[in-house]
Structure 1
Amino acid sequence: MGFDTEYFWSLWPAIFQGSLMTLAAAAAGSVGAILVGIILALGRRSGRLSKIICAGFTEAIRLSPFLVQLYFLYYVLPVWGLTLDAVTVGILTLSIHFGAFLGEVFGAGIDAVPRGQVEAARALGLRNRQISFLIVLPQMLRFVAAPTANYMISLLKTTPYLAVVGVPEMLGVAFDKASDSFRYVEPLTAAGILFLVYSTIIGQAARYVERKIRPL
């Protein structure tokens, strides 16, 4: 069975439409992951109780599979009276899972900021919250841009797992088309090309940002 070029091109409207859901879930998941990562990084550098809670949460998430977390939120939360739609569950799982890893990255970036600047800010009378958001976090960006981009690419490539709870993302659409026609090469090739294109764009954007914020 050869490669059917005509069929391949006929697939693009449906698969591209599915890719919009993939991009939306990845974008929302990335924003959520960054917020979770910042909270965990700051929490592990706050009081003792906060440090214990954030450290335990981080290890539990990092050491458990993404698919288990996805199934847990989708099937177990309704037992406790909290029912969320598939897209929301997918975004929430992406945010929590990759946020745990980004918490470690952001923590290392925070530790890389010279302590003298924090002490100088305290001497000027700034509060801890002001020091975190005005002094530490802006400087942290230059240290974490590249590894954060790598995790964003990984997050994008993790979105196909969302199909198992019914999210109509790109790879799920490709498999639906393959099941209808019993031809897998063309749909999976189209999905693979789009994943490669989107990942390349993210990588290039990250390199641009990294060059702009690189210290002199």
Structure 2
Amino acid sequence: MIYKLSIGYYFEGFMPINIATIKALKSCKKVKIHPNAYKVFEFVNSLDFSFCGAIKQDLVNKKLLTVGLVLHAKKVGDELLIYSGFESILFDINTINLTECTVILDDDISDSEIELQAWIGVFTNCFLRSISSKNLNVLHTKVNELVDSKIAKQIFNRTHLSQNYLAQMAGKSKDAIAKQKSRQNKPPQDKSITIFEQLKESINEQ
């Protein structure tokens, strides 16, 4: 049985969504990341967060907090293919208990919409909040490599994320990102700098 609600969707207009019942979730034999969202999943796992690891998860009621985890997925046969919600710190593909969180199903969603929703979830819950500014050079490179120009146009209002635009978003100078890229592109032998020099460079980027 699936409960049907009619609420606003990420895309233009409105369409019904389905919240999976416990019975429907228990019928899923496998839980995977949807193929069209997998590169987004890998992108999230490669990000460096300012707040990552600051709170010990075993000291909070993780089971209770997981109730607030909302996953978007597509059910194909006995497989549940997740395409959004995996950006949460509480999500672990190896240990997730579907009956403890809310799963929104849309079996009619297209592959292109799945990729867009995956990126929307990431930029909403990660990109605009707590990504570390120490590796903006890596972030800049990955976004331009992984985000399709049509999706970038919808999210950033431009087809390409420039260094200048990312600097404005992060509240940093364009030179700070350029310096990070310069260090990134240096040969290994040129990266042996003293702790004092590292501290000096870090201060200059503020």
TM-score by length of 2: 0.26
Instruction: Give the helix-richer structure, 1 or 2.
Output: 1
TM-score by length of 1: 0.25
Q: Which structure ranks higher in relative contact order (CA pairs < 8 Å, sequence separation ≥ 6)?
A: 1
